[in-house]
Amino acid sequence: MGGVGIAGGGLGTLALALVGYFFFGIDPFVTQQVVSQFDGRGAQEQGKVGTPGDQAGQFVDIVSANVNDVWATKVKGYQAPKVVLYEQGTQTGCGLGQSAMGPFYCPNDASVYLDLSFWREMETKLGASGADFARAYVIAHEFGHHVQTLTGTSRKVQEAQQGARNQAEANKYSVALELQADCYAGVWAANASAVSGGRVAMDNGDLEEGMKTANAIGDDTLQKQSTGRVTPERFTHGTSAQRVEWLKRGYESGDAAQCDTFAE
Ligand SMILES: [Zn+2]
């Protein structure tokens, strides 16, 4: 669990730290940068594609198939990303992937990379029921970045970032991109049951769990936890209130057109 700051005791704090680590994740644009820090360290293995036998892998499989089914109804010519499960480290189109990076999407090879050992640890510590919706939300958020790549939004954002006058301005584009991925996760949740004939359905309390998770992983909340201060110009994913708001907007509308985070 390298790099995870777990302050104090108690499951609440631990859950929050895990989830924060989980979601803080890696932006597609900084992946290359981050990867270079890990170069030459840790074991490498081939990531696994296909239907894994264990429970955690099957969960990924079911949710991924469902998220694909939702987006196939919404994006013309939709093509599913590759989902790669790995432990420790694996080679990716964005360099060496390491479990310390959390889940991420690599646009170069259109793949979602998920580190299973981290998920198992989360499950052991939180119990499967507490982690279920949070994990589904993570998958749907990363698929959201895939949709942004297919629709050309990611490329436009990258271009805008290259033309930005400073880091703070570039970060604003990153925030809009991340909030849109949250909104897309909500759009998935709203349509999950309908496209699967009820096979994938939200339990009572799932959305509330999602809101709580979104609230726990806002930049302001995480910054306050780690440094005691809030520095808005360094936000890359949005505040807690924004993340809750956009997840909710996606969920309540079920409509990707309502996810224009760039307009605001
Ligand atoms: Zn993201």
Identify whether 3 is part of a domain: no
Spacing, Cα 179 to ligand 1 middle (Å): 8
Asked, for residue 2, whether it belongs to a domain, the answer is no
**Mean pLDDT per 10-residue run, the chain (264 residues)?**
32 41 40 35 50 73 95 97 86 78 86 79 56 82 96 94 93 95 96 92 78 81 86 91 94 97 86
Kindly provide the b/e burial profile for residues 133-164, where b requires at least 16 CB atoms within 10 angstroms of the residue's own CB: bbbbbbbbbbbbbbbbbbeebbeebeebbeee
pLDDT of residue 44: 46
Domain count, the chain: 1
Q: Is residue 173 part of a domain?
A: yes
Dist CA 24 CA 117 (whole Å) = 17
CB 123 within 8 A of CB 130: no
Q: Is residue 178 part of a domain?
A: yes
With beta carbons less than 8 A apart as the criterion, state whether 122 and 151 touch: no
Which residue, chain included where needed, has tokens 């198992």? 120
Domain-located, residue 99: yes
Q: How far apart, in whole angstroms, are the C-alpha atoms of residue 246 and residue 259? A: 7
CA of 188 to the centre of ligand 1 (A): 15
Q: What is the CA(112)–ligand 1 centre distance, in A? A: 11
pLDDT computed for residue 68 by the predictor: 98
Distance 103 CA to ligand 1 centre (A): 9
Distance 241 CA to ligand 1 centre (A): 16
CA of 53 to the centre of ligand 1 (A): 27
Whether 188 is in a domain gets the answer yes
Write out pLDDT tens, residues 64-76. 999 999 999 999 9
Best CA proximity match to 110, nearest among 63, 154, 62: 154
**What's the CA gap between 13 and 4, in Å, rounded?**
12
Cα(254) to centroid(ligand 1), Å = 19
Q: Which residues of 95-123 are buried (b: 16+ CB within 10 A; e: fewer)?
A: bbbbbbbbbbbbbeeebbbbbbebbeebb
pLDDT at 124: 64
Ligand 1 center to 186 CA (angstroms): 14
- 95 DSSP β-pair partners: 92
Q: What is the pTM of this model?
A: 0.79
Determine the distance separating the centroid of ligand 1 and the alpha carbon of 101, expressed in angstroms. 12
CA 24 to ligand 1 center in whole angstroms: 8
Gap from CA of 213 to ligand 1 centroid (Å)? 14
Query: 206 lies in which domain range?
Result: 11-263
Q: How far is the CA of 141 from the centre of ligand 1 (A)?
A: 6
| Domain membership flag for residue 5 | no
In a domain, 46, yes or no: yes
d(CA 173, CA 181): 13
Which residue, 145, 125, 254, 127, is CA-closest to 202? 254
Cβ within 8 Å of residue 261, ≥6 positions away? 175, 176, 177, 179, 180, 183, 246
1 CA distance to ligand 1 middle (Å): 20
